[in-house]
Copies of this chain bind each other. A is one copy, B any other.
Amino acid sequence: MTFRHNKNNIGKYLPILNWLSNYKKQDFNSDVFAGFITAILFIPQGMAYAMLAGLPIQVGLYASILPPIIYAFLGSSTTLSVGPVSIAAIMIASALSAPEIQALGNPVEQAIILAAEGGIILLLMASLRMGGLVNFISHPVLAGFTSGAAILIVLSQIPHLLGLPAQSCGLDLVCLSDQLQHANPYTTKLGIFSILVLIFMGPPLFWLLTRFKIHNHLKTAFTKSAPLLIIIITTVLVTYYQLSEHHNVNVVGHIISGLPSFSLAFITNSSSPWIALLPSAAFISLIAYVESVAIAKVTANLRGEKIAPNQELIALGTSNVASAVTGGMPVAGGFSRTMVNFSAGARTQLSMLIAVAFLGFAVVYFTDQFAAIPKAVLAAIILVAIAPLIKFREIISTWKYDVADGIAQFITLVGVLVLGIEEGIALGVLFTIISFLRRTSRPHIAVIGRIKNTEQFRNVDRHQVETWDNLLLFRIDENITFSNVDYIVDFIEDHAHNNAKLKHLVLVLSSVSYIDTTAIELLTKTIKSYKNRDITLHLAEVKGPVMDKLEKTDFMNQLISSGKIFFHTTEAVKELCQA
């Protein structure tokens, strides 16, 4: 089912209209099943990622209700599951732990502002059609950032898993080994047990079920229900043995029952929290957008569907504002949930609406049971989900393929761990752009000659070709701009230098489709200085659009006062070698 050739403008902005009008009976069955499976993962993740962000559990659950509904209406992906996600959660935790943000008071209010502000930023980017700019968070930067953030997440969950004092030690191993002595044995056992069950119910169970020839959908249902199952088991244990009361096992505690209510209370009188949170909101929403589009594209490509980046800005921006309005945290598309939704056979966003219905039901009727969930099991869920994201081997393989990309990935990872999440990304992006600019400043240029008895011209360094004493031909293989014109002029001069017989230089512009102002300025000066030395500059194979632009310039006056513009390089050789 694909929608991109739809000429209906309303459908462009409300993708739901496209799929609802084509909706079929068999789609419905698939969507209901996928929705049920996704909900099984969605409820524990909503709770766990709220805890990861350092927020009360309901902030995560509230973020799992209206935002996916909004996305179902506005999003261009049929399978993306929008809600709390781990990477955004650790970024929220990091933002809220800054002393100047803590001084602002209640962290829930700050998290809501982060969602609202991030949503507005995405909508602004949509209105300026700036979605393309996020391309500049390159894959190595994103990969380094993800590994770094995953390490931070693992470290942040160790206290919950073992029942240590609340403050995380971060990367401070001395502090951590100190704290380990105070581990709560009951919490630790619950945590380790949960991890083992979760690991077993992953690939090993899947392999077993495959051996017993269980139907694919059932396999998915079994393996993906692991988080919910382990929550139920451990909660029963905690309640039955009263582990919370007698053995200090930390539990989730009281959750306000019922659906969230609408509130605009986050629109504060003072602008200071908004200003203080602006950088974090920008980083969180950008990363949320980049990750969401990447995930959406993975599933869309597998089905030949199209993701509309600008529409995603609108959908994710509105979803985040919706989260804020209903007291939720910032949201994005989650990788594991989306893959579960996709592989469970979701056809449309209806599956997410069904998942939300299950979640809403749980929030209304089961919050009392939620109170006894041990935090250690949520930490275990986070750890098992996150650990595979730590990929040291990928840095090595990136490095082997391309050193600059390897360095970018490495410094982003180290930057995230040592300087902080936002600083690490900023460092990686900066490095990527600088090394990109450096590379573009060394364009490919070839001195070319003619292959005998043909009209073909090739690099003199690689082929046996004819050359001439009074004539040099340069083929410039890239657009000529401020970043590379110096290199080009120097390259020409290196060959023109100390060459007493030289009378003509021809620049073959067959690959050049753009020449900027800086380049024109320098080339004009170059013509003049060669004229001074009785060397004439010519052009050949100039493309139409380039010609149109050149015609308005002083460069052209200088050029045609002595040189020529040849349609083909052959003509240049014919004319200039007789001269």
Contact = CB atoms under 8 A, between A and B. Distances in A.
Given A477-B511, A483-B436, A139 B518 contact: yes
Given A138-B482, A401-B549, A549-B402, A302 B532 contact: yes
A302 B553 CA distance: 21
A121 to B, nearest CB: 17
A525 B301 contact: yes
Interface stretch (A74-82, A91-99, A439-447, A463-471): A439-447
A233 interface: no
A433 interface: yes
Among A4, A140, A482, A487, max chain B CB count under 10 A is at A482
B511 A511 contact: yes
A444 B513 contact: yes
Contacts of A433: 433, 437
A291 interface: no
Contacts of A486: 132, 135
A484 B136 CA distance: 9
A189 interface: no
A526 to B, nearest CB: 7
Contacts of A553: 401
Interface string A1-19: 0101100000000000000
Contact of A139 (B402, B521, B528): B521
A437 B136 contact: yes
A398 interface: yes
A398 B5 CA distance: 39
Contact of A498 (B2, B138, B402): B2
A2 B306 contact: no
A72 B533 CA distance: 25
A477 B306 CA distance: 24
A30 interface: no
Contacts of A552: 400-401
A213 interface: no
A302 B136 contact: no
A497 interface: yes
Interface in A411-453: 432-434, 436-441, 444
Given A518-B140, A529-B301, A440 B438 contact: no
B497 A304 contact: yes
A529 B405 contact: no
A520 interface: yes
16 contacts: A2-B498, A132-B441, A132-B486, A136-B483, A139-B521, A139-B522, A301-B529, A302-B528, A302-B529, A398-B517, A401-B520, A401-B553, A405-B517, A436-B437, A436-B482, A478-B478
Given A139-B517, A301-B526, A440-B440, 8 more contacts: A133-B434, A133-B438, A138-B516, A301-B529, A398-B517, A401-B552, A432-B482, A511-B511
Instruction: List 5 A-B pairs, minimum CB-CB distance, nearest first.
Output: A301-B529, A139-B518, A138-B482, A405-B517, A138-B518
